[in-house]
A and B are shown apart, each in its own frame.
Chain A
Amino acid sequence: MPGDIVRASVPITFTYKNRVGHALEQYLNGFKEKKILGVKCPACKRVYVPPRTVCSSCHKPIDTMVEVGQTGVLKHFTIAHVNIVNGEILDAQQPYIIGLIKLTGASSLVSAIVKAPSQGTIKTGMKVKAVWKETAQGDYGDLTYFEPA
C-alpha cells in the first residue's frame, strides 16, 4: 500500500581510480618546485590555469607550459560557512573565504582559499599572493591559500 514502502540502505562503496591526466600531472609536478604552471595557446596567446590540453577559444591542442605569477588580483569571493563532505552540508569551524584570483600572466581566474588576519579586510580588487606549505610534495594541498600581498 502507498505509505508503507520500506527503504533499504545499500552499503556498497564504489571505488574509482581517476587519472589526473597529462596537463594536470605537469601542474602538480610544478607544485613540487612551488611553481604555478599555466598552459599557453600559441595561436591566441591565452594562458589557462589550471592547464588543460585544448584551447577553449581556438580549439587547438595545446601543450606549452608557462609559469605564471605567484601574485594576483582577487576578482570575486564568497564567505563560506560550511563544507560539503560526502554530500552533507556541515558547518565549518570558522568561516573561510573562497576567491577567484587573476594571477599575473594568466588569462583565466583560479579558485583558492584566501586568508587575512582580519576577514573583514578582504575586498575584491585587492592584491594577493600564494602561500605554500613548507615542503611541497606535488599535491593540491601544497598551495595552501592566498593572503594579502
Chain B
Amino acid sequence: MNERVAVVGYKQTKHTIDSPVARERMVYELVKSLYHDMGITKDDIDTFVLASNDFTDGRTISEVFTVPRIGAYMKDETKVEADGLNAALYAYMRILTGLYNTALVIGFSMAGSEFRVPLTQSYTMDPAYERPRGIINFYSTAALQAGAYMKKYKFTDEDLAQLTLKNIRNANNNPFAARKDPGASVEKILGSRPLYLPLREAHVSTYADGACAVVLSSKKTAKKFTDKPVWIDGVGHFMDTYYVGDRDLLAMEHLTAAAKKAYKMAGIKNPKKEIDLAEIHTNFASEEPVLTEALGLFKPGSGKDVVKSGASAITGTLPVNPSGGPLGANPVNATGLIRLAEASAQLRKEAGQNQIKGAKTAVVHAQDGPGAQLNTVFIVRR
C-alpha cells in the first residue's frame, strides 16, 4: 500500500476557441512536453487514466486514437467518462494500492471548435422526459438555481456582474485562458445577451479546445520527479438525484458530503480558516456562491458580502478561481483537472501574475451533469 500521493507534474495547453491542431496532436504535444519538462519518458509512468467522452469527441470509443499519443502503448491504461478530476481520483486510488507508483492523468476536448456543448448537454438530459419537453437543460437548471439564490439572499444582478468581472480579470492575466476581455465591465456584463434570466451570455463559461495532463506519484517515488510535490490529502465525490424538481437547489448536500469526506481525510476542521484558495468548476458564474458555500468556504447566503468585501479576489481572504476558472476556459472533460493543475501552480508558486502569497492548502472541485449533479473534491497541500 502507498500512504500518500502527490501531483509531481502538470501542464495545460493554451486553451483556444479554435485550436490550430487536431485533437490527437494536441494531446501528443502536451504530454510530450510535460515529459520533457519533467525530464522523464513514458517508461516512468506505470498506469494511464484518461478522461474523455464519446459524445464530446463525436466518436465511439474515441480513446482508440488518443491512447497511443500519450505513451500508453503496451501499458496499463483505462478511461473515466467524466471530468478529468475523476480520472485523477481513480489514478490516486490505483496508486494507493501500491500496484503502481506513477500515473499520467489527462483530460481533453475540442469544445471550442468541434462540437456544440449545449448539444452534448442535451444528450445528457434523459430521452424519456426532459428531452422531449425541451425546457430543462444545463442552462435553465443553472438559471433556476441562480434565481433561487439571488431571491433568497438578495444577491443582485450587479453582484453577479461583479463576481463575473472578478473571474474575467483573473482570466485576463492567465496565459492559458481562452477568454481575453480587457475591456470587460459591470455594464457590459449587465448588457450582454439575456439567455435564461438571471443568466446572460457573459456569465457562461468559455467552451474551449484544450487539454490538461497531470503526473501523480506515490510518496516513495515523488522525490525522483520533483522537490515540490503537491500532496493529495483528501478526496471525496458524491452524486445528487437527477430531476431538478427533486433537488434542494441551494443546499447541495451531496457536495457538502463530498467536501466533508475530503476535509476529514485531510484533517481540516475549519475550512474557512485552513483553506488558502479554491479552484472550482463553475459552468456559469452564478454557481460560484452556491458551490463555495456548499464547500463550507463561506457562510450560507454570504455571496453578497463576499463580492462586496473582495474576499474571493486574488488579494482576498479566500481567493476563488484566481485562474479565472472555467469562465476563462472550459475545455469539457479537462476543466476540473485544470483546477488541480492551477491549484498545484499556486502551491508551487508558479502561478505568475495571479500568484497568491503564502498559499499552502487548496480545495479543488469538479462537476458533471446538469446543475452540478456529480461533484468531486480534492484537498491539496504543499
Query: Is chain B found bound to chain A in the same assembly?
Result: yes
Taking a contact as CB atoms under 8 Å apart, the answer to whether A18 and B127 are in contact is: yes
Interface size class of B (residues with CB under 8 A): 35 or more
Please measure, in the bound complex, the distance between the C-alpha atom of A10 and the C-alpha atom of B129, giving whole angstroms: 28
> What is the bound-complex CA distance between A10 and B59, given in angstroms?
11
- Asked whether, in the complex, the Cβ of B147 is within 8 Å of the Cβ of A77, the reply is yes
The reply to whether the CB of B176 lies closer than 8 angstroms to some CB of chain A is: no
A85 to chain B, nearest CB (A): 8
Contacts of A2 in B (CB 8 A): 20-21, 25
In the complex, chain A residues whose CB is within 8 Å of the CB of B132: 140
CA gap between A64 and B244 in the complex, in Å: 22
Q: Known: A108-B246, A111-B135. Contact between A21 and B128, CB under 8 A?
A: yes
Which of A56, A78, A87, A112 makes the CB contact (< 8 A) with B119?
A87
Indicate whether B90 reaches chain A with its CB closer than 8 angstroms.
no
B residues whose Cβ falls under 8 Å from a Cβ of A: 20-22, 25, 58, 113-120, 122, 127-129, 132-137, 139-140, 143-144, 146-148, 151, 193-199, 241, 243-246, 249
> Is the pair A111, B244 in contact by a Cβ cutoff of 8 Å?
yes
The 7 A-B residue pairs with the shortest CB-CB distance, nearest first, are A87-B119, A87-B116, A109-B245, A18-B127, A78-B143, A81-B194, A79-B197
Chain A residues at the B interface, C-beta cutoff of 8 Å: 2-3, 5, 7, 10, 16, 18-21, 24, 48-50, 56, 76-84, 86-89, 95, 98, 100, 108-113, 124, 140
A57 to B334, alpha carbons, bound, how many Å? Answer: 33
Compute how far the CA of A140 lies from the CA of B198 in the bound complex, rounded to whole angstroms. Answer: 27
Q: A76-B148, A98-B136 are in contact. Are A81 and B196 (CB under 8 A)?
A: yes
**Which chain A residues border B135 with CB–CB below 8 Å?**
80, 98, 111-113
Q: Which residues of A contact B143 (CB under 8 A)?
A: 78, 80, 98
Q: What residues on B are CB-neighbors of A77 within 8 Å?
A: 144, 147
| Chain B residue at minimal CB-CB distance from A110 | B245
Main secondary structure of the interface of B (DSSP, over half): mixed
Q: Which of A2, A49, A110 has the most C-beta atoms of chain B within 10 angstroms of its own C-beta? A: A2
List 11 contacting pairs A-B, 8 Å CB cutoff, sorted by A: A3-B20, A5-B20, A5-B22, A79-B194, A81-B196, A83-B134, A87-B116, A87-B122, A95-B194, A113-B135, A124-B151
Closest to A96 in B: B135
Tell me how far the C-beta of B114 lies from the nearest C-beta in chain A, rounded to whole angstroms: 8
Residues of A within 8 A of B194 (CB): 79, 81-82, 95
Q: Known contacts A81-B197, A124-B151; decide if A108 and B243 are in contact (CB<8 Å).
A: yes
Chain A residues near B245 (CB, 8 Å)? 49, 100, 108-111
- Determine how close the nearest CB of chain A comes to the CB of B37; give it in whole angstroms: 20
With A24-B128, A108-B246 known, 11 other A-B pairs at CB within 8 A are A2-B20, A5-B20, A7-B113, A24-B129, A49-B245, A76-B148, A78-B147, A78-B196, A86-B119, A89-B195, A140-B132
Q: Which residue on B lies nearest to A20, using beta carbons? A: B128
> Are the C-beta atoms of A82 and B134 separated by less than 8 Å?
no
